[in-house]
Structure 1
Amino acid sequence: MGRMKTERQDRKSNATSGTDEKSGLALMQQSISFCSELNLSRGDAQVTEGWVTKVGRYLHLHSSRYLKLRGAALSSFHSPDRPATWTMNLLNCTVKPILKSKRFLISTPERGALEYSAFDETERDRWVAAIRKATTENIFSFYKIGPIIGNGSFSTVRLGASLDTRDIKKYAIKIIDKRRVGGNLKYMDREIAIMRSVRHKNIVQIYDIFETDKRLMIVLEYCPGGDLFEKLKVRSTLTETQAILVFRQLFSALEYLHSRGIVHRDIKPANFLLVDSSESLQVKLSDFGLSNTMENASDVVMASIVGTPAFLPPEVIKNLPYGPKVDIWGMGISLYFLLSGRIPFDAKNRDQMFTRIQNDMLEFRGKVWENISFEAKDLLRKLLTKNPDKRLSALEALNHDWFNTKADLLEDLSEKNMLEIDSSDSAMSSVSRCESPAALTMLPNHSGSQSSISEIRRLSV
């Protein structure tokens, strides 16, 4: 049997006998794990996995099993490339080594006594230590969970606080129902792996992970200011002064991600969180549920259609391979929207919108654009270039004249600088806050006029 593997160990460590084990280790090497350079508050939340021998309860027959321990959830497999035969919660379980042997015994309310034999006594002790730690991985031992502050297709977000009186921060605790996620578990794993691998002042930070057989709980940085979509839906657009402050931060976060080979793939104002409700407009990029990684930052390797439809670039609509420039397009749509209250390619339905995105020239219609600078419009044209090869990179956007010649705009951030737009002339169109890419908010456009917020309708992709 092969040795137990934890995510700190080298994925290329030698395997011993068994064809199933070799194929299993190959599969493990391809998977995304919780392992990263960023430690969590309580440790590393490692995944522990490997081959063991199951000892029969009555006849003491021996059979190979592949065990995988994630948080407090233990799963058993006949082979790691097949579905789990069972998964159970270890929070009410105990484990003990059987001395002078390679065996260990797990006592569970669900499945009774489970006896396994490891590769050797050292591996036995590692399994025992990992399982003992898992039996204490109860979020309620570390955090107080408060009221609901957000909902999604598969998750609920609650306000949280640490039980450690020295920690006065508030947290956002995202509670994911694994039974409802179904086949989207890979996105959940990938979101965690990516969030654990990044640390930037303008990216929402992950603090802790707890997992049981039914739920995944992610403790995140709390941003009480809400998101920019909600802020503008009830107030106004941003002035150029404010937009410069906001987008300088966002492009900095995006340049950081792209330099690490990470593509967000769902850039939109609903994912721009405000640190507080003041006019300082400190923002953080959030929601990495659709993010993906590339082998190298310059590779263009992704081709799946994900994201919010109103923010999709032409190459995604055409099912072409794409890379980090999809995020640049999303930033362009977001900037256009936050400056004007409209999206540039609105339409009656999804198909018409996709046609406009692919074929129509970018226009700056309406009185609102009379007060927008040439530099801002020039940046928008370069962000919303239909050919991704000619589209700016995040670093090139940061070096654009709009950020470098408009420093005088940053002198005054008072309330009087907010450019109020009459609700009949604004359009919170085609901006979806749903977690699922299958949801789309569309804005009817009758006789070429902009519709009011009250006329927003939802269409299914």
Structure 2
Amino acid sequence: MPLGKNGKKKIEDINMVYNIKEKLGAGAFSEVVLAQEKDSERLVALKCIPKKALRGKEAVVENEIAVLKKIAHKNIVALEDIYESPSHLYLAMELVTGGELFDRIIERGYYTEKDASQLVRQILDALQYLHNMGIVHRDLKVPWPQNELKLGDFGLSKIEDGGMMATACGTPGYVAPELLEQKPYGKAVDVWALGVISYILLCGYPPFYDENDSELFNQIIKAEYEFDSPYWDDISESAKDFIRHLLEREPEKRLTCEQALQHPWISGDTALERDIHGSVSEQIQKNFARSQWKRAFNATSFLRHITKMGQSAEADPEESTVETVQEEKDKW
């Protein structure tokens, strides 16, 4: 099979390689389908990108491919193959099963702070791996569960080239203050997002939320959040300390991944084993209904906020920022 740029396998028709089973999701300029490879019968998640829709956004996809080809980690969704037909580009991704993490927590029936700590540890392991390779994820969200958690959504990731970044991108509910303020940023934005994830895993609702988008962004910029009673009454001080060090407003004061892995809530025995399932699952169901999630973390309003600030993003062909961010939101 002939190879093109970036190791893409040239084909006339993707149906020569895969049996397409069903649609799994769609984005602004792509869709993801369940596909079975004809030779091996292996199932993959096949990201199908029409070349017509890709015009002007080629650098975004090339960046995603470049990042995915560099990484191999048990807690990161793997890129398995790349195909190119006359009309489409196809990314064959490892198929992640098990549903959304929130659903898995609700179904468990028993869930402790120690369980949350172990989940965060898996994310940290993957994040440290990325950062050691000079990769900033930039759109870290609650990951997909399987036997082990899997990070995905690398469409906004960036390989550091020795400097700070400035492009406005990400998911607003998880985005760091410095990014909202359009300041140069680096790996610390991923650590902030992990702080948001850790907070949610311990109480079932996000640290920053408001029906008004401007107020939501103001909360994030000021790093204004609370450990509300009664939801945090049974959570250890060690867990709260861990989150405080991740949701630190000043990026230079945030823990690095290596430091976070050494925190006693992760590496020690300070995470409590008291069952918090009832409270957490109730709040997850209340606060993360699909419609509320989209309302809380609206990509369009995020970019409107950035525009109002009157500051331009970096001149970088990687971004068609509105379309890229919206695609990630549409997946939800």
Partner of 2:183: 320
Give the C-alpha shift of residue 232 in structure 1.
5.5
* Paired amino acid for 2:18: Y
Equivalent residue in structure 1 for 2:237, among 367, 374, 377: 374
Give the C-alpha shift of residue 392 in structure 1.
0.7
Q: Tell me which of the two structures has the higher relative contact order, counting C-alpha pairs closer than 8 angstroms and 6 or more residues apart.
A: 2
Give the C-alpha shift of residue 436 in structure 1.
9.3
Q: Please say if residues 237 and 338 of structure 1, whose CA atoms lie closer than 8 Å, have aligned partners that are also in contact.
A: no
Which blocks of at least 5 consecutive residues in structure 2 are unaligned?
303-328
Q: Please say if residues 102 and 284 of structure 2, whose CA atoms lie closer than 8 Å, have aligned partners that are also in contact.
A: no
> Do the aligned partners of residues 218 and 424 (structure 1) sit closer, same or farther apart at CA in structure 2, a change above 3 Å counting?
closer
* Paired amino acid for 1:397: A
> Do the aligned partners of residues 286 and 162 (structure 1) sit closer, same or farther apart at CA in structure 2, a change above 3 Å counting?
same
> Do the aligned partners of residues 236 and 182 (structure 1) sit closer, same or farther apart at CA in structure 2, a change above 3 Å counting?
farther
Equivalent residue in structure 2 for 1:175, among 39, 42, 48: 48
Report SS of the residue matched to 2:76. coil
Cα deviation code 1:128-179 (max 9, x no counterpart):
xxxxxx3x46432222211112222222211111212xx3532111112332
Query: Does 1:309 find its partner at 2:184?
Result: no
Cα deviation code 1:244-289 (max 9, x no counterpart):
22111111110010111100100111xx1112xxxx5x11100100
> Do the aligned partners of residues 247 and 306 (structure 1) sit closer, same or farther apart at CA in structure 2, a change above 3 Å counting?
same
Larger Rg: 1
Partner of 2:144: 273
Equivalent residue in structure 1 for 2:101, among 228, 232, 236: 228
Partner of 1:21: none
Find the aligned partners of 1:229 and 1:139 in 2 and give their Cα distance: 34
Cα deviation code 1:96-123 (max 9, x no counterpart):
xxxxxxxxxxxxxxxxxxxxxxxxxxxx
Find the aligned partners of 1:439 and 1:390 in 2 and give their Cα distance: 29
Find the aligned partners of 2:271 and 2:136 in 1 and give their Cα distance: 33
Report SS of the residue matched to 1:201. coil
Q: Please say if residues 148 and 158 of structure 1, whose CA atoms lie closer than 8 Å, have aligned partners that are also in contact.
A: yes
**Identity over aligned pairs, percent:** 34
RMSD over aligned CA atoms reads: 3.2
Cα deviation code 1:310-335 (max 9, x no counterpart):
11111001110000100001110111
Equivalent residue in structure 2 for 1:143, among 14, 18, 25: 18
Q: Please say if residues 153 and 434 of structure 1, whose CA atoms lie closer than 8 Å, have aligned partners that are also in contact.
A: no
**Alignment map for 1:1-400 (pairs within 5 Å):** 45-47=3-5, 71=8, 134=10, 136=11, 138-164=13-39, 167-229=40-102, 231=104, 239-269=112-142, 272-275=143-146, 282-296=148-162, 299=163, 301-400=164-263
> Do the aligned partners of residues 376 and 417 (structure 1) sit closer, same or farther apart at CA in structure 2, a change above 3 Å counting?
closer
Partner of 2:300: 438
Find the aligned partners of 2:231 and 2:87 in 1 and give their Cα distance: 50
More displaced, 417-426 or 356-365?
417-426
> Do the aligned partners of residues 189 and 227 (structure 1) sit closer, same or farther apart at CA in structure 2, a change above 3 Å counting?
farther
> Do the aligned partners of residues 152 and 163 (structure 1) sit closer, same or farther apart at CA in structure 2, a change above 3 Å counting?
same
Scaled by the length of structure 2, the TM-score of the pair is 0.80
* Paired amino acid for 1:340: C
Choose between structure 1 and 2: higher strand proportion: 1
Cα deviation code 1:186-223 (max 9, x no counterpart):
21111111001110111000111112243211111011
Choose between structure 1 and 2: higher helix proportion: 2
Find the aligned partners of 2:58 and 2:294 in 1 and give their Cα distance: 22
> Do the aligned partners of residues 150 and 238 (structure 1) sit closer, same or farther apart at CA in structure 2, a change above 3 Å counting?
farther
Partner of 2:287: 427
Q: Please say if residues 153 and 436 of structure 1, whose CA atoms lie closer than 8 Å, have aligned partners that are also in contact.
A: no
Give the C-alpha shift of residue 290 in structure 1.
0.5
Find the aligned partners of 1:262 and 1:424 in 2 and give their Cα distance: 31
Which blocks of at least 5 consecutive residues in structure 1 are unaligned?
1-41, 49-69, 73-133, 441-457
Q: Please say if residues 208 and 224 of structure 2, whose CA atoms lie closer than 8 Å, have aligned partners that are also in contact.
A: no
Find the aligned partners of 1:177 and 1:200 in 2 and give their Cα distance: 29
Cα deviation code 1:10-57 (max 9, x no counterpart):
xxxxxxxxxxxxxxxxxxxxxxxxxxxxxxxx79x4418xxxxxxxxx
Partner of 2:317: none
